[in-house]
Chain A
C-alpha cells in the first residue's frame, strides 16, 4: 500500500506555502503530519486536502540552545498549534521578540504566513520546511 501523501510531497507543498493534510473518508478526521492511516479510526481511505493554516497556540518555548549547526538561529520560538481542522502541528512564531514570549501566547489565534526551510545537514537526508505562524490581530 502506498502513502497517499509522502514527506516529499508534503515538504514541496509547504515550500510553496501550502499546508497539506489527509482527510479520512470514513470518519472525517484530518491527519497531519501525514500517516498511512487515519489517526482516529486507522482507515487508509483518506484524501489529500489543503489546510487553512489557521489555529490556536497550545504551547510554546523560546529555545536558547541550538543543535549543532543551527547555533546562529537562536533564540527562536517553537509552537505547537492546534489547527482549525483539528490536528496539531509544530512550527515557529514570527513577528515577536523571542525574549518577550510569555504564557499569554497560549490560546492566541495564529495564521500560517510563510515557511522556512532547514537546509539539511549530514544526518538529515535533505532539507525540511516548517510553517511560520504569526499572531492574528
Chain B
C-alpha cells in the first residue's frame, strides 16, 4: 500500500438555509481544494462524494456526476456515498484506499448537504430515516430522541445524577461555541453560557436546544494524492496514516452495549492499529458532537477518557486546547455546523489546517502533529475514524 496525502482542502461557510444549489456549493469547495493543490480539474481522476438527502432537499439525485461535470472534471468516475452523517468520511476513506492501492494517483473527495434548506419539520422527518423505519419510527423516534435516551441511559449506567450530567453536557456545548466564534466558516458564531444552555428550549428530555447541533447547509472538499505526487505539489503534505470503518444494527439491537456504540470501538481500533499510535498520541480530534452527550460517548470510546468520566474531563479542561487532547477546536458540529453529507470532509479540512498551523490563533492547537476524525452515521449504523499526520 502506498502512502496517501491530503494535498489541498476547500470548504464553504457552513450556514442556515441559503440559495446555492448542491452542485454550486460543492463546486466552490472543490475549486478551492484543487487550486490549493496546484492542480487543474483535468488532473482529477475520480470523485468520491458524500450526499445524504439531496433527493429531499432539492429533488436532486446523482449530484456527484453533475458536480464532476460542472467543475471541469467531465467523464471521470463519480461515486455518491450515503452513510447518514458519516457519508463524507466514507467517501474520503474509499478515496484513500483507491490511491493507496495504486489504482489512482489523484482523487477528489468530499461532501455536500442542504439540511437547513429543508426546514426543521422535513429535516426531522428525513434524519429519522436513519433509525429503523419499520421497528422504531412508528414510536415517533427522532434523531434528538435517540441521543436523549442515550443521555438518560448514560446517567443511570454510570451513576451520575442527571443534574450533574446536564451541567457537564452544557460545558461541552459552551466549549464548542467558544471556538466556533473564531471560525469564519462556522454556522453559529455566538457566545453561549452554561445558564443559556440550561434555559434553552427542551427538544427531547434531557436534551435542550443548545445540546443539539443545527441543521446546516455547506460543502467541503479534499484532494488526495499518492506520496510521490504529493511531494511535487506541496511542501506541507498531511498524510492519512490510519483509517477505520464499521457498521452496527438498529438502536434496539445494540441493547446492553449502549450507551457505548460498538461500531466506534471497532472502527477506531482499526485506525489506531493501522497508524501505530495510541489515544495518548492524538494532539487534536474533531469528533462527532451531534449532541452534547454524543461528545462524552465518543471521547470515551476513542480512548481519551475512562467510561463515565468524560464529563469530568471537560469540566477540568482536559478536552480543551492545552488539555490532554484538544477536542473540536473548529466549534464542532454544535457551532461549526452539520451539513450531514459534508461533515466528515469538514472534519478532515479542520485537522489538515490545524496540522499545517493555518487556523485562527484563538483556536490553533500549537505544534499539533497528529490529528484524528470521528464521524458517526445514524445511531451507530456507520462509524468512520481517520488519523492524519503532519508530513514535514
Which A positions have Cβ atoms within 8 angstroms of B?
A: 7, 11, 33, 35, 39, 58-71, 73, 76, 78, 80, 82, 87-92, 101, 103, 106-107, 116-118, 121, 123-124, 127-130
When the two chains form their complex, are residues A63 and B142 in contact, meaning their CB atoms are under 8 A apart?
yes
Known interface pairs A65-B142, A69-B121, A128-B135; 12 further A-B residue pairs with C-beta atoms within 8 A, sorted by A's residue number: A33-B252, A61-B145, A61-B148, A61-B204, A61-B206, A64-B202, A66-B142, A67-B125, A68-B125, A123-B125, A128-B134, A128-B137
Kindly identify, within residues 118 to 143 of chain B, every residue whose CB is under 8 Å from any CB belonging to chain A: 120-122, 124-125, 128-129, 132-142
Give the docked Cα–Cα distance between A116 and B137 (Å). Answer: 12
B253 within 8 A of A: yes
Q: Chain B residues near A67: list those with CB within 8 A.
A: 121, 124-125, 128, 137, 140, 142
The distance in angstroms between the C-alpha atoms of A52 and B120, with both chains bound, is 38
Expressed in whole angstroms, the minimum distance between the Cβ of B248 and any Cβ of chain A is: 12
Complex CA–CA separation, A33 to B137 (angstroms): 13
A residues less than 8 Å from B121 (CB atoms): 67-69, 71
- Whether A103 and B155, one on each chain, are in contact in the complex, defined by CB atoms closer than 8 angstroms, is yes
Do the beta carbons of B139 and A103 come within 8 Å of each other? no
B153 at the A interface (CB under 8 A): yes
C-alpha spacing A106/B250, complex, angstroms? 21
Chain B residues proximal to chain A, CB less than 8 Å: 120-122, 124-125, 128-129, 132-142, 144-145, 148-150, 152-153, 155-156, 162, 201-207, 250-253, 255, 258
- The one of A7, A103, A107, A116 in contact with B134, judged by C-beta atoms closer than 8 angstroms, is A7
CB distance from B367 to the nearest CB of A (A): 42
Q: Which residues from B are CB-within-8-Å of A33?
A: 132, 134-135, 250, 252-253
CB distance from A120 to the nearest CB of B (A): 9
The answer to whether A87 and B255 touch across the interface, beta carbons within 8 angstroms, is: yes
Q: Which residues of chain A are near B125, meaning CB under 8 Å?
A: 67-69, 121, 123
- Residues of chain A contacted by B203 (CB below 8 angstroms): 64-65
The dominant DSSP class at the B interface is: helix
B152 to chain A, nearest CB (A): 5
With a CB–CB cut-off of 8 A, which chain B residues contact A71?
Answer: 121
- Other-chain residue from B204, B252, B258 in contact with A63 (beta carbon distance below 8 A): B204
Q: Give 10 closest A-B pairs by Cβ, nearest first.
A: A61-B148, A128-B138, A67-B125, A68-B121, A33-B135, A68-B125, A59-B153, A118-B138, A130-B138, A88-B255
Question: Closest CB-CB distance, B338 to chain A, in whole Å?
Answer: 16
Question: Given A59-B152, A123-B125, do A129 and B138 touch, yes or no (CB 8 Å)?
Answer: yes
Chain A residues within 8 Å of B148, by CB: 61, 63
B45–chain A nearest beta-carbon distance, Å: 36
B330 vs chain A, min Cβ distance (A): 26
**A92-B139, A128-B138 are known contacts. Are A68 and B124 too (CB-CB below 8 A)?**
yes
Contact residues in B for A73 (Cβ distance below 8 Å): 140
Given A63-B142, A65-B203, A80-B251, A90-B152 contact (CB < 8 Å): no
Closest to B254 in A: A88
Chain B residues closer than 8 Å to A90, beta-carbon distance: 135-136, 139, 141, 251-252
Residues on B with C-beta less than 8 A from A88 are 252-253, 255
Interface centre among A61, A69, A101 (most CB of B within 10 A): A61
- Chain A residues positioned under 8 Å from B150 (CB to CB): 59
